Amino acid sequence: MRIAKRIGSALAAICLATAALWAQSEREYVIVVHGGAGAMRSLEQHPEQAAHYYAALDSALHIGAALLERGSKGEEAVIAVLRYFESNPLFNAGVGATCTAAGTFELDASIMRGEDLSAGAVAGVKHVKHPIEAAYRVMTRSAHVMMAGEGAEQFAREQALEMVDDNLYFATPKTLQWVEQLKQESKKNGTTGCVVLDKQGNLTAGTTTGGMFKKKWGRVGDSPVIGAGTYADNASCAVSCTGHGEYFIRHAVAYNLCARYKYLKEPVADAARHILHEELNAEAGNGGLIAVDREGNIAMDFNSGGMFRGYLYKERATGHVCGEVGIGQKLVPVSNHP
């Protein structure tokens, strides 16, 4: 009996190893991005405006894919993509950040490594040019997971990260125009995120945001909260969320998706659909998420009018690169991979 059990255990281990190899044999790498969810479906009716967002999402995907193609770690790709979003006033992150009720800018960011569950986050920073870099330094150069406010900024200075003297650096003319438009779209929830499965089979997730429009001073949403807006675990998925943060925190959405995948054995797309459309809804928990599982399967679901999003992956066997970007329900192919 003991011998039979040992043989059975050995066969099971071989099967698991074979399954893992097969899981990694389909796609060499995968990258998925989002630029916020909300009432932007009407953009599809204005091709000239929509083209700017399609181009930005396309650029973000290719920035990350170029690093993954070279064999860089997933976290390098995630940081490069989110730095791009933080520098693009089309999105609610960095120079595109929306303002608080006091007319200032408070930024949040987080990153998580699925290989060892390391994570870092910053919340309510006002002078850090690229909050995602500060979050990464919290993960790699501190004993903590989250730092907030003045403490996070002091840490960023000690790490010699690039700072801005004037908080109004984040308020470009385009940003202010976008904020005025945002006032007319109360359900528009802006955040940017990136999830990656790299060539080594490791998952990484990151999120960066300017937060909710006219939020109260000191308010922190889901984006820097590990398990709510960001989560990555090599045993399941990498997830980045965007939406009404209070509800995403209450439902621990990012971890919830990973748990449904890991323990209920739900496909990643089914888990995302259940959470967004059954546990949450367009009134209580308006928003969306992106995710990639350890096998390279993706989810880009939302319960709002639209979500800026896109994916790109490379097939291991053929070397074929496939990707699409979208705003509403329609997806369009990415440009040719360089």
What amino acid occupies position 230?
T
In a domain, 262, yes or no: yes
Enter the tokens of residue 24. 């990694």
Task: Find, among 198, 326, 203, the residue nearest to 261 by Cα.
Answer: 203
Q: Which domain CATH number covers 267?
A: 3.60.20.30
In a domain, 105, yes or no: yes
In a domain, 11, yes or no: no
Q: Output the pTM of the full model.
A: 0.89
In a domain, 162, yes or no: yes
Cα 75 from Cα 284, distance rounded (Å) = 32
- Alpha carbon of 213 to those of 77, 110, 134: distances in Å? 28, 19, 23
Tell me the three state secondary structure of residue 162.
Answer: coil
Task: Find, among 204, 190, 178, 199, the residue nearest to 80 by Cα.
Answer: 204
Cα 241 from Cα 191, distance rounded (Å) = 8
Quote the Cα angle for 121-124-129, to 5°.
80
In a domain, 22, yes or no: no
Cα 61 from Cα 269, distance rounded (Å) = 20
Q: Are 74 and 197 in contact (CB under 8 A)?
A: yes
Cα 55 from Cα 59, distance rounded (Å) = 6
Which residue(s) pair with 242 in the sheet? 288
* DSSP H helices in the chain: 2-26, 47-69, 74-86, 131-141, 149-158, 173-183, 245-250, 253-263, 268-274
Q: Please give the chain's pLDDT, 338 residues, in tens.
A: 444 444 344 433 433 333 333 344 489 999 999 999 988 877 877 888 899 999 999 999 999 999 999 999 999 999 999 999 999 989 999 988 888 878 789 999 999 999 999 999 999 999 999 999 999 999 999 999 999 999 999 999 999 999 999 888 887 665 566 555 544 443 444 799 999 999 999 999 999 999 887 788 889 999 999 999 999 999 999 999 999 999 999 999 999 999 999 999 999 999 999 999 999 988 889 999 999 999 999 999 999 999 999 999 999 989 999 999 999 999 999 987 55
Task: Give φ, ψ of 131 to 5 degrees.
Answer: -55, -30
Q: Are 228 and 241 in contact (CB under 8 A)?
A: yes
DSSP 8-state symbol, 337? P
Reply yes or no on whether 191 is catalytic: yes
Residue 326: per-residue pLDDT: 96
In a domain, 189, yes or no: yes
- Alpha carbon of 322 to those of 138, 149, 286, 336: distances in Å? 34, 41, 29, 9
- Owning domain of residue 314: 28-333
Tell me the three state secondary structure of residue 312.
Answer: strand
Residue 178: per-residue pLDDT: 57
Enter the tokens of residue 27. 């796609």
Q: Are 123 and 239 in contact (CB under 8 A)?
A: no
How many structural domains are present in the chain? Answer: 1
Residue-wise over 125-138: b if at least 16 C-beta within 10 A, else e? bbbbbbbbbbbbbb
Enter the tokens of residue 191. 């955040």
In a domain, 53, yes or no: yes
Cα 28 from Cα 321, distance rounded (Å) = 10
Residue 14: per-residue pLDDT: 34
Residue 338: per-residue pLDDT: 52
Find tokens 């993706």 and name the residue: 298
Residue 8: per-residue pLDDT: 43
Burial (CB < 10 A; 0-12, 13-18, 19+), residue 274, is: middle
Which one of the listed residues 98, 100, 175, 191 is annotated catalytic?
191
User: Which helix (H) or strand (E) is 197 found in, with range?
Assistant: strand 192-197
Find tokens 């096998």 and name the residue: 295
What amino acid occupies position 213?
F
In a domain, 3, yes or no: no
Cα 286 from Cα 302, distance rounded (Å) = 8
